[in-house]
Amino acid sequence: MGSRAPGASGQRRVLVVDDYQDLADSLTLMLRALGADARAVYDGESALRSVEDFRPDLILLDLGLPGLTGLDVARALTQWPDLRQTRLIALSGWSHDEARQKSLEAGFDDFLVKPVAIETLQDLLAESK
């Protein structure tokens, strides 16, 4: 992977990963409306491939993916040196402490419970600059 600079327009690149496609697509549309260059993928394998090509500044990653889980993906991504500046945010329908703890142990920077408010997305974009 190469440079970590934002795209030519200065947009933040955001990858949304969730197997619930309607949610992933909705989050992607909201992020685009907020000025981000956002993409959605729906499984862990696609997430790893997309990170390689897209080089996001921010990744919103569902924990409960089938197959390669969000925790598995996070553990893999934290081993990639070029992603040290990338913020990795866990998305979950579960708000209990165990899910939060496991996400932090896997390398996530933060934990959000679904659904995610548009104000939270605005804050994430501002923080990733």
Q: Which CATH class is domain 13-119?
A: alpha beta
pLDDT surpassing 90 at residue 129: no
pLDDT over 50 at 6, yes or no: no
Q: What does the pLDDT look like over 56-107, one tens digit per residue?
A: 999 999 999 999 999 999 999 999 998 889 999 999 988 889 999 999 999 9
Residue 7's pLDDT is 47
User: pTM value?
Assistant: 0.91
Residues 6+ apart with CB under 8 A from 87: 57, 58, 59, 109, 110, 124, 127, 128
pLDDT tens-digit series, residues 11-34 = 899 999 999 999 999 999 999 999
Closest of 33, 79, 27 to residue 58, by C-alpha: 27
pLDDT of residue 128: 73
> β-strand 58-62 against 13-17: which pairing, if any?
parallel
